[in-house]
Amino acid sequence: MINLAEGQPNNDLVVDGDVAVKDNNGITRIRLDSDTGSIFVHNADGDIVLQWEMPGNNLRFGGHNRDGDLLLFSQVADSISDANNATFHLNTQSGDAFIGGGGIAGRIVCRDGNHNQRLLLDSVEARIVVGASGQTGSIIVQNEDNEPRIRLDGSGANIRCGGGAGGAGDGDLLLFPGGADISNNSEASVHLNGANGTVSVGAIAFPDGTTQDTAATTGVITAVIAGDGLTGGGSSGEVELNISQEFAGVVQSLGNQVQLLQTQVQQLQFAVQQLQQGFGP
């Protein structure tokens, strides 16, 4: 039954049963299911390529040699026919999700159940922020056995590499100079080896600007410099170090005072013995 009052504004088209729209070849292209409220869209071969399924309220599209994309456009988009104007694009053929475009920068914000931000992917500053609002952020990289192998912990500002059950592998930290092949460990200028605890560096820089790029060998004295209270020294041949006369006098005076103090201590000990004998039984 069709109930349509002509000439009346805002009137409804009431149909008992399903509604089917067919093309010139008699193929149903659109069908509204009256029992479930579902909507089906068919291609020219009669295959369903879009299905708005009720009562589950599921939207399905694609298949039958046609991939289904979902594109959302902002109000500033000039045309919705150009996919590059979409700010949100799900491409099922490549499995890609594009967020941002058409003059709008893309961001992904993951929140907890109380609407607190926990994870942010921000295309404006090309940054990833993990953790916020009372929750420490961590990044964990696992191996094929689901064992944590790399962990970045925001609470203690720690970077942990390696470990794992059954000797999964030691953790190394390698730093490379510009232009190096980072797949070649030998080109690393700094190598922290978690297996044996060694640190390999290309060179050691000191505060005075000098560097050392070879291991130290047997030491060689190249010069002797006489400091305060000493005389002699030199930078070639045999050299001698002597105590200066002024300093020698100071040393001799200290020695005499020590001897005098020792004599006084001996005399005091003798006097104590005499007193003890005088008060004896």
- State the average pLDDT over residues 205-234: 75
**Cβ atoms 259, 251 nearer than 8 A:** no
pTM for the predicted model, two decimal places: 0.58
Q: Say yes or no to pLDDT of 280 above 80.
A: no
* pLDDT score of 10: 62
- State the average pLDDT over residues 54-80: 89
Residue keyed to tokens 């080896």: 193
93 conformational bin, left if phi > 0, alpha if psi -120 to 50, beta if neither = alpha
Tell me the percentage of the chain whose pLDDT exceeds 90.
37
Name the more confident of 140 and 3: 140
Ranked by mean pLDDT, the top range of 36-50, 160-174, 231-245 is: 36-50
- State the average pLDDT over residues 6-21: 76
Confidence grade of residue 273 (pLDDT, cut at 50, 70, 90) = confident
The C-alpha atoms of residue 90 and residue 67 are separated, in whole angstroms, by 11
Quick one: how many helices (H) and strands (E) in the chain? 1, 24
- State the average pLDDT over residues 130-145: 89
Name the more confident of 181 and 266: 181
Residue keyed to tokens 């460990």: 185
Name the more confident of 243 and 7: 243
Name the more confident of 206 and 221: 206
80-111 tens-digit pLDDT: 999 989 999 999 989 999 999 888 999 999 99
Closest CA to 17 of 3, 27, 7: 3
**Cβ atoms 19, 32 nearer than 8 A:** yes
* pLDDT score of 249: 75
